[in-house]
Amino acid sequence: MEKKQNVSRAVIQRLPRYYRHLSSLRAKGETRISSRKLAEMLGLTASQIRQDFNCFGGFGQQGYGYSIEKLCEGLEDILGLKRAHTAVLIGVGNLGRALIKNFSFESNGFKLLCAFDSDRMVIGSGMNGVTVRDVSELYAYVDQHKPDIAVLTVPHAIAPALARKLVEHGVRGLWNFTGEDLHLENLGVPVENVHFSDNLMTLCYQVNQTEEK
């Protein structure tokens, strides 16, 4: 599918949701779905889904709906899930260990090459097939293996300097869990800043609104 110019961030952020639900249907043996049915599953409107898909040339056929297999394949192509991107993780504390042990990087488009930390107690250990290296080796490793992205689970105070140094060494994207908002748009490097508190406070607001009704 061909992407139109200037696809909004809101549309891009909905694509993984579409893919996750459609992949589940595909695994169950489902073969076809309408925009109305998909909208019901996602809490959206059928019109919104059609508009989103039209940003990439459209996937459906009038009176037929969508082939789930073709939708999944199209979304995999758009999201780049089959391009064998690579990642390194820096900071093997509680969150870093949880990501290594429980998050499927490969099913989300990335192979986690290795992790880095300064703690002698974890350096040299292996978790879920991922080796933890000394952080002093980080930049030499990045220069040699050229990972596409870095996952940051380090203390927030060191995040800005670390991020810029990684970009200088060729890292092309950051998945940032440090709690420090990083903005590297001026360097042409995308950053996904993850704040668990944002989601929880949003939920807090919504719960508060139901109490006031």
Does residue 120 sit in the same domain as residue 168?
Answer: yes
The amino acid at 161: A
Does residue 24 sit in the same domain as residue 119?
Answer: no
pTM of the model: 0.87
Q: Is 154 annotated as a binding residue?
A: no
Q: What average pLDDT values come out for the chain (213 residues) when binned by 10 residues?
A: 70 94 95 93 93 82 80 92 93 97 93 97 95 98 98 97 97 96 92 93 89 69
Domain carrying residue 58: 9-79
CATH of the domain at 60: 1.10.10.10
Nearest to 21 by CA among 72, 55, 97: 72
Does residue 144 sit in the same domain as residue 191?
Answer: yes
Does residue 67 sit in the same domain as residue 146?
Answer: no
d(CA 122, CA 124): 6
Residue 94 near residue 119 (C-beta atoms within 8 A)? no
In a domain? residue 211: no
Q: Within the chain, what is the greatest distance between any pair of CA atoms?
A: 62
Q: How much is the pLDDT for 6? A: 77
Does residue 104 sit in the same domain as residue 179?
Answer: yes
Instruction: State whether residue 173 is helix, strand or coil.
Output: strand
Structure tokens at 145: 């293996």
In a domain? residue 167: yes
Q: Is 124 annotated as a binding residue?
A: no
In a domain? residue 204: no
Q: Is 29 annotated as a binding residue?
A: no
Alpha helices in 90-154 (DSSP H): 94-102, 138-145
- Return the DSSP state at 82: T
In a domain? residue 35: yes
Q: How much is the pLDDT for 2? A: 53
Q: Is 7 annotated as a binding residue?
A: no
Does residue 23 sit in the same domain as residue 102?
Answer: no
Q: Is 92 annotated as a binding residue?
A: yes
21 Cα distance to chain centroid: 15
Q: Is 74 annotated as a binding residue?
A: no
Alpha helices in the chain (DSSP H): 9-27, 35-42, 46-54, 68-79, 94-102, 138-145, 159-168, 196-212
Q: How much is the pLDDT for 117? A: 98
Query: What is the total count of domains within the chain?
Result: 2
Structure tokens at 148: 């596409």
Does residue 91 sit in the same domain as residue 178?
Answer: yes
In a domain? residue 114: yes
Q: How much is the pLDDT for 91? A: 98
Residue 88 near residue 113 (C-beta atoms within 8 A)? yes
